[in-house]
């Protein structure tokens, strides 16, 4: 889906990307909006996050701590189906909005999932945040997971 090098022949177009602390034009700009959307879907589906990187800067399309950057051959977003049964992913893009759905069988115990990210500190040069997932059963908190601690540059 997101695999492979970003080339014109693979259908990628030039757009804004982050590179060495700058916003520049490059192939595949915007691909991280897809990885970010998938990351958030995986969080709410209570799937295990295996590999995750935040951007250099807080992206304009999501709050600090809710992004997942990918750079071919360097940084990837990976998650694991930690459920008891197979899952199915569907993705659609309509009117500039990407949507992921994760489908699967209900398990004996299904949790209500809350996801939130807090900015923990901010200076003139950086923003730090923490991302948490809370699992609830019958309104009672069963588990609170720290998914990511992120540091962003201010620009």
pLDDT tens, N- to C-terminus, the chain (155 residues): 445 666 666 666 676 666 666 677 766 567 888 999 999 999 999 999 999 999 999 998 999 999 999 988 889 999 999 999 999 999 998 998 889 999 999 999 999 999 999 999 999 999 999 999 999 999 999 999 999 999 999 97
Give a yes or no: residue 97 inside a domain: yes
Q: What is the three-class DSSP state of 113?
A: strand
Range of the domain at 149: 14-153
Count up the domains in the chain and report the number.
1
pTM of the model: 0.86
CB atoms near residue 136 (< 10 Å): 14
Domain contains 84: yes
């Amino acid at each position: 889906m997101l695999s492979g090098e970003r080339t014109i022949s693979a259908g990628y177009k030039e757009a804004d990307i982050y590179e060495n602390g700058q916003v520049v034009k490059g192939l595949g700009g915007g691909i991280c909006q897809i990885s970010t959307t998938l990351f958030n879907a995986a969080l709410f589906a209570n799937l295990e996050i295996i590999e995750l990187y935040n951007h250099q800067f807080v992206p304009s399309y999501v709050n600090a701590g809710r992004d997942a950057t990918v750079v071919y051959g360097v940084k990837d977003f990976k998650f694991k189906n930690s459920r008891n049964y197979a899952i199915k992913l569907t993705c659609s893009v309509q009117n500039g909005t990407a949507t992921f759905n994760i489908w699967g069988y209900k398990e004996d115990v299904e949790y209500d999932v809350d996801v939130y990210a807090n900015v923990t500190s901010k200076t003139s040069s950086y923003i730090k945040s923490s991302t948490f997932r809370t699992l609830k059963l019958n309104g009672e908190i069963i588990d609170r997971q720290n998914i990511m601690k992120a540091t962003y540059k201010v620009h």
